[in-house]
Amino acid sequence: MGGISIVENVSLDGVVQAPGSPDEDTRGGFAHGGWFAPYPDAVLGEVMGRGMAGEGAMLFGRRTYESMQAAWAGTTDNPFGPLLDARQKYVATRNPGWSPTWANTTVLAGDAATTVADLKAAVDVDLTVLGSPDLLATLFPAGLVDDAWLAVAPVVLGSGRRLFPDGAHLRWELVEAVPTTTGVVLGHYRAAR
């Protein structure tokens, strides 16, 4: 059985919505898109890269998958495009008729708590989730997340989709903490069972 790790950019107040660009996700009138742009540095790249470095597969919610495909599929001028193109990708969606177009993609249609639990039990590789806050809101209460790689930025946004759903009660053990040159604290956490 594989494990599930998440890799997330998160604000001090827990927001994960639209870290990459202003128009990434404006649901709910979110006007702070691109908030993580000032923070990447070499330390962040090295440490967060470890969270994606294994030989495992990727797991996405459909919205994040489509955003990642638009940004990275077929690109060769960076290390992420070829890596993501080659990796097996699983996409959780409620729409059984949805068809992906990115190579090496398998659709998990239906209730994500069930389809992801079945996948986790069936594969011998680790699964890495990038973004996908709606998917995580289902996976956390189901106890399916094993590790978290969080890049906590020194910014409070005051609104937006948060990493942990209301009512979540989860315990984590700190594995590693690394400060960056831009004030981000990188934390690797393991779920305490």
**Average pLDDT value over all residues in the chain:** 92
CATH architecture observed for domain 4-191: 3-Layer(aba) Sandwich (3.40)
Task: Tell me the three state secondary structure of residue 104.
Answer: coil
More confident position, 35 or 96: 35
Q: Over 60: is that where the pLDDT of 51 sits?
A: no
Per-residue pLDDT reduced to its tens digit, 1-44: 889 999 999 999 999 999 989 998 999 999 999 999 999 999 99
CA distance 61 to 27: 15
Confidence of residue 128 (pLDDT cuts 50, 70, 90): very high
CA distance 89 to 83: 11
Residue whose structure tokens are 């910014």:
155
CB 134 within 8 A of CB 104: no
Q: Over 70: is that where the pLDDT of 143 sits?
A: yes
Confidence of residue 165 (pLDDT cuts 50, 70, 90): confident
DSSP designation for 165: P
pLDDT of residue 169: 85
Q: What is the rounded average pLDDT of the residues 53-73?
A: 89
Single out the residue of 32, 97, 88, 96 nearest to residue 58, CA to CA.
88
Residue whose structure tokens are 């005051």:
158
Lowest mean pLDDT among 13-27, 72-86, 99-113, 127-141: 72-86
Alpha carbon separation from 3 to 57, 72, 97, 188 (Å, rounded) = 10, 25, 28, 15
pLDDT of residue 79: 76
Q: Over 80: is that where the pLDDT of 126 sits?
A: yes
**Partners of residue 191 on adjacent β-strands:** 172
Count CB-CB contacts under 10 A for residue 85: 17
Residues in the chain: 193
Single out the residue of 1, 12, 2, 16 nearest to residue 135, CA to CA.
16
What are the extents of the domains in the chain? Answer: 4-191
pLDDT of residue 53: 63
Q: What is the rounded average pLDDT of the residues 64-92?
A: 90
